[in-house]
Chain A
Amino acid sequence: MIQYDIPEKLRAVIGDAIRPGGLALTERALDFCGFSKGAGIVDIGCGFGTTLNHLQDRHGFRVCGIDISARMLSENRQQPVIQAVADYLPFGAGVFDGIFCECVLSLLPLPENALSEFHRVLQPGGYLVLSDIYLRNPGQTQYLENQNENSLADNTGHTTAYVHTCLPSDDFSSCLSGAVAKTRWITQVKNIGFELFLWEDHSGYLKELAARIVWALGSREGLMKLFFPGASSVCDRDAIQRARPGYFLLIVRKKGMIGP
């Protein structure tokens, strides 16, 4: 079973926000969403609760979080948190003003199922904030696609499974595991019924995080081994680099007006 607990070594390097951009990108999203004080926000994959703390203490939102990792949840005793999976949320329909899902969706084998759940639990007019990895050059993954007999071509003709080839089977799963092209991400949210509100590239944050990890581990080789222990050959690593992983902020809105 794939574990989503973060290795302590990595935690020491990147901190508890566990994603490129950290809270700076969370703040960037809040600038656009304009949530009122007291708004109900759920953080999907809340981990150690860094975003929850920020949303509650800095902005006065009513927050709760879900995460699959009991260990990470056990370190958060300040907000209501539930151990749950993203594609089967333990909430009623239309109960949240906003959802944050930061560097989580690409970890999931079927992200469209989670997106459907997000749509269900948001009230009309509510915002979904996604930040995640994407491939800026997805056409360059042919080599790895050929390595994986079970590769699943998506509707843009690009492989979605190539990085899964390189994932550890029983260790840490990174958010590079389900990265796809920008067009694929946008198609997915639109197919669910969301309105596109904002797409921004923030690949600089990914580069910054990679540099910090290389600095801590001592080499790019160490970075690749941490995120792609299955990518044993130079060809594998070159293919990953040619795909040019980047990072985005995507804000979408559930259609309809907020009720009285």
Chain B
Amino acid sequence: MNGDYSRPEDLTWKCRKCNVNLVVRPATLSYMDNRMTADLPQCPVCGFVLISEELALGKMAEVEQVLEDK
């Protein structure tokens, strides 16, 4: 399942290691043997993915709770 989870301000970041602008590409997220895909800002050279605080504390945290439920 793809979804664009990037924000315009995310693309103002640069990868410190590679010194290039981030681009939006599909990324695979894995947690407790479950995988999901999402379009996220990442470094086109090394693949380092930027996950915003909003996404980490919002939707991602919700999904983690579902997967952690007994």
Given A13-B1, A216-B3: A210 in contact with B66 (beta carbons within 8 A): yes
Residues of A within 8 A of B1 (CB): 13, 212, 215-216
Number of interface residues of A (CB under 8 A): 15
Least CB distance from B67 to A in Å reads 5
Q: Which of B9-17, B20-28, B39-47, B55-63 faces chain A?
A: B55-63
- The size class of the interface chain B forms with chain A is 10 to 19
Given A13-B1, A212-B1, A212-B36: A219 in contact with B62 (beta carbons within 8 A): yes
Interface of A is mostly: helix
Given A212-B1, A216-B1, A216-B3: A207 in contact with B66 (beta carbons within 8 A): yes
Contact between chains at A211 and B3 (CB < 8 Å): no
Contact between chains at A219 and B59 (CB < 8 Å): yes
Contact of B59 among A207, A218, A241, A244 (CB under 8 A): A218
Contact between chains at A208 and B3 (CB < 8 Å): no
Residues of B within 8 A of A208 (CB): 34, 67
Contact between chains at A214 and B36 (CB < 8 Å): no
Please give me the residue from chain B that is nearest to A241 by CB atom.
B69
Given A13-B1, A216-B1, A216-B3: A211 in contact with B70 (beta carbons within 8 A): no
Residues of B within 8 A of A219 (CB): 58-59, 62
Given A207-B69, A220-B65, A220-B66: A214 in contact with B34 (beta carbons within 8 A): no
CB-based closest 6 A-B pairs: A211-B66, A211-B63, A215-B63, A210-B66, A211-B67, A214-B63
A-B CB contact pairs (8 Å), 14 listed: A207-B69, A211-B34, A214-B62, A214-B66, A215-B36, A215-B59, A216-B1, A218-B59, A219-B58, A219-B59, A220-B62, A220-B66, A223-B66, A244-B70
